[in-house]
Structure 1
């Protein structure tokens, strides 16, 4: 039965692996018509009643403790999981007592948690959710619950007992699961669209909600490179200090950067991404970073800049200052990547802006015209034959459904294939192309998912495979696989599905991965809301190599590292494709 469950889950994963929530601007959590008990609690619908603008170091630490206790109870206590308690509003009820100058915080928290109805019997964990030690990718960070010095004996015992609740049925929980799907859903969170942005209680609720989602439902918590407890202490004063929408949104944006995940997008109350803060206009160009210089690589609309221009300033700000500002609010798995960074580096508030560039060795100022049209940062070279039909180039971002089969039948006898994954794939190559390249099914990736019965724990599924299926009706595949050289092109724009496809394709025996490291953000995107109808996303499950080596924040590493040259950019050459052709011709 357990093996059947695993197979079912894997089919679910394959079906929805590459669904990207941030694309669907109109996405909003669906609500069950049935009203559960917590929805009947309306005491704080018009505001938390908690307002203050400064806080002492002692009270910051007390609020951090409140956040952690609130979080573990939120995800482990049976009464909260059942939907009988509005745990957001319970936060507002207890917070004023915590904020009192000489309050006994541990006693207040103990009495608060102890007052909840714990009649629901805790049980042994369902065998389905018990995993061998070598299947555990991430364990809960809940040892602090057993620290009597930190919590006091009574509160420590109360919280420690919760850790054995082992509840797998979570339909009404703040994080739920559908049927046997391993995916977590956060649609039961209230978005509070009428929030007043000077309401300190609601601002702190936003921080507490985000912090605990990362604490318990983020697969990459161990590699964010931050002390997550210290991040909480740092951001409590930041969330308290602001009093308007802009300060609130930007503080959340800054918080998202601390998980270092290029899947972490932020959308404001009107559905607009954080990008609009940087300006409504974009300079319609693409750029590439070469030797720590921003070099214009493509002119999308005529604007005054030229290919090969090295950008020094936009308006009165140095390009390094602009980069630092963008990175403060745009999350990146790696500092040299991040799709929003590429889209928003050249955002401006004015349609016409002076840009200082180095052009042909001279420093000049150019009055540049911005645009409100969408900008595509991808490679637009069409799939085509090269070298008199000896090589075929595939642009993964321009593929149409069913085109892979047609390409492989027509170009079966070529000496080499170039697969360009510098674009986001428009068609899944992971399995469709690889069945022509690898003569048998071969492991290429492992994934990890949250244990629904034990928040904070993530477990590995068995490895996924790609390659020639054991049984096939495809006449080309009956006796052989493609024999030519395979060169896979990647760079900092290769993200998510592109990284997943690269991991599969590079299993081909006669393959080379060429370019720069990929973005280091893989795993299906999970969407959740924060108070004020703010929406954010994170990578929702872990993606690893079969030997469990990580990809997050590291990226897929090329076999041959390559950086374009400024000369090549100025001449309009695609040096990646040129080098790929050379590699294939060397194998003739």
Structure 2
């Protein structure tokens, strides 16, 4: 009986050797029932636990042990509120590893703002592998004033085991365990919970007049959100202020009554002081704030003057809803995800539309490049959002809206659970891509499936469940955000054979013969666990005696000096960026190919103090290395080259003797700004305008190759890499 009581006490009370510590960074406090360090978080799919037999000091350590999941990871993480001041934050800790391969182990430090990381390092670049006894490691990041949370931890990618112990976190050299926290004032906006359980808005049947009125309200609501000093100060929950105002607004009967109600609403938030620091938009600004709707709408003169006065005396400095993170990039703040939003709630659904439209209107650097005029989009989608009948309708409406910005960075992978469930979780054993405008089988996940399958590499799929491929694409195209048609088809191809059913029927052409087949589908992880396309290969090799080849898919910082030494005398180097780089190398590798310091990009970024303004700022410079490569550089790109891949291609293009070969890239350069929508939906958009030094755009256009060549169906059948072949030919012939 005493033994049972002892076990129960262990389950509810943690054992601790240092009870004076605020944070359990030495793993000594743990939950005995679950054998897991107290207050630590599990990330990833590996086995995570407190180890009671191996520790550097004390009795316990944190342990990560891999499973057999290919491309998976495991991480132990600890969350600390960022209630401190300082310039830099450092994580020190001890790590022991055993048989780590096909990946790496490391400490992890992440600084989060309200919606996205402000800084991150997991020691991936150090490529720590093998078996090593306890060693001390350290990570340092800038500690930004708008940080909300600190995450420290350990990570294991690939195979093996890793132990972690005795973590110490310091800010400007002072231990966070003893450092005093700062008291942060609680904004009134965060104390308002009136509509947490629903907006309580009942919309009447929509007509043209009401839709126009709601369009105007959405624009005024968003304008005030980012300009009115009282709202920008966080004195009001602006989402809930909308719900308070809507019932009155929905009952207005004429324009005069509407405008008077809007004037009274604006005035209720206090008198605005004259702003002596508010500056005019520079004449040379690349994009200027778009307030044309002030004058183009049927507003009365008093309301127009009121809006213009607010703009001229707008908020300056910190804002409750928008701020700057590292390197001047924008970040959205204090946007409630409303995970518990009622399944159907017209008020929250309209809020989602208002929120997204205004974020794009004021802070998307490529609003001028969308297929449809952004000013018209708000009105177009009001009926779609208000009339959603279920959660799936709402998610689909959000995706259609997101697709309107024509940006491949506009992901819809998080929170859109009903859409993804509807698309299915089962996949075929092979990969398909659009080659020569046909849906073609390009590879299999494992050799066994390839050898036993009736369908072969190079076969053309013409119908799925008796529907022509083009018909399917036309019906689903508006649900795949993309900068250009090439990246849209890339993304669609990944889902065409996806289903919730275990079998689908296809019609296909093999060796000029039309055939029909039922394909068995399996969970995606089953196939990916068999995928060994690049496993165990170095990122560099000689493909000819005098031609070096580098893939950025697996490159590490430690590879760069070896590459420079091994390839310094070859007549040509091929860098393959038909992938996403494993390491950021535009400068450390790009410097090897320039003969002098060289600009290769410039940027536009949004302004917190003047929403809607985008001005050019000086771009990045590649500094010449002491020793540079004298031969020919060929860079390979295609539709899989996106974001960092495109930026890296721009850097290599600055080289003296660089030729880019391949096909159109994804056309989504620069960093991503994340944003949340009611219902726990997460998406984003390209946050920086990225341009060549002469002002040429890369968004939607992509990186245009000097020599265009695309794979052919014939080449796919023959298992040839025609783009690589063309690169070799170019080096040999020139």
Residue 387 and residue 217 in structure 1: after superposition, are their counterparts in 2 closer, same or farther (change >3 A)? closer
1:315 to 465, 468, 490: 465
2:243 to 73, 77, 92: 92
Task: Provide TM-score, normalisation by structure 2.
Answer: 0.71
Deviation at residue 537 of structure 1 after TM alignment: 1.0
Equivalent position of 1:332 in the other structure: 482
SS at match of 1:296: strand
Contact 2:273 2:313 in 1 (8 A): no
Q: Structure 1: how far apart are the matches of 2:298 and 2:697?
A: 34
Bigger proportion of residues as helix: 1
Q: Structure 2: how far apart are the matches of 1:415 and 1:288?
A: 33
Equivalent position of 1:194 in the other structure: 340
Contact 1:268 1:274 in 2 (8 A): no
Q: Number of matched residues?
A: 549
2:724 to 537, 559, 577: 577
1:415 to 561, 571, 576: 571
Structure 1: which 5+ runs fail to align? 1-7, 9-14, 469-476
Q: Structure 2: how far apart are the matches of 1:435 and 1:181?
A: 22
Alignment map for 1:144-293 (pairs within 5 Å): 144-147=293-296, 150-171=298-319, 173-178=320-325, 181-269=327-415, 272=417, 274-293=419-438
1:115 to 246, 249, 268: 268
Residue 325 and residue 114 in structure 1: after superposition, are their counterparts in 2 closer, same or farther (change >3 A)? same
Contact 1:30 1:187 in 2 (8 A): no
Task: Provide TM-score, normalisation by structure 1.
Answer: 0.88
Residue 20 and residue 524 in structure 1: after superposition, are their counterparts in 2 closer, same or farther (change >3 A)? farther
Residue 542 and residue 231 in structure 1: after superposition, are their counterparts in 2 closer, same or farther (change >3 A)? same
2:703 to 556, 573, 576: 556
Q: 318-327 vs 578-587, which deviates more?
A: 318-327
Equivalent position of 1:3 in the other structure: none
Q: Say whether residues 1:496 and 2:643 are aligned partners.
A: yes
Deviation at residue 20 of structure 1 after TM alignment: 9.3
* 1:235-261 Cα shifts (integer Å, max 9, x gaps): 100011112111111110111100010
Deviation at residue 229 of structure 1 after TM alignment: 2.2
Equivalent position of 2:517 in the other structure: 366
Alignment map for 1:518-529 (pairs within 5 Å): 518-529=665-676
* 1:168-213 Cα shifts (integer Å, max 9, x gaps): 3224x211224x7512221311111111132111110000000000
Equivalent position of 1:443 in the other structure: 599
Q: Say whether residues 1:294 and 2:431 are aligned partners.
A: no
Contact 2:281 2:613 in 1 (8 A): no
Q: 202-211 vs 311-320, which deviates more?
A: 311-320
Deviation at residue 308 of structure 1 after TM alignment: 0.3
What value does the CA root-mean-square deviation take over the aligned residues? 2.7
Residue 75 and residue 141 in structure 1: after superposition, are their counterparts in 2 closer, same or farther (change >3 A)? same
- Higher Rg of the two aligned structures: 2
Bigger proportion of residues as strand: 2
Q: 433-442 vs 288-297, which deviates more?
A: 288-297
Query: Higher relative contact order by CA 8 Å / sep ≥ 6: 1 or 2?
Result: 1
Q: Structure 2: how far apart are the matches of 1:410 and 1:535?
A: 44
Contact 1:64 1:233 in 2 (8 A): yes
1:40 to 191, 197, 203: 191
Alignment map for 1:373-384 (pairs within 5 Å): 373-374=524-525, 380=534, 383-384=539-540
Equivalent position of 1:346 in the other structure: 497
Deviation at residue 527 of structure 1 after TM alignment: 0.9
Residue 113 and residue 20 in structure 1: after superposition, are their counterparts in 2 closer, same or farther (change >3 A)? closer
* 1:87-145 Cα shifts (integer Å, max 9, x gaps): 1111112222222261422221111112211344423237xxx77533x2211111322
Deviation at residue 371 of structure 1 after TM alignment: 2.9
Alignment map for 1:533-548 (pairs within 5 Å): 533-548=680-695
Equivalent position of 1:394 in the other structure: 550
* 1:21-58 Cα shifts (integer Å, max 9, x gaps): 7xx9xxxx958975311122222222111133741111
Structure 2: which 5+ runs fail to align? 1-86, 88-109, 121-146, 150-182
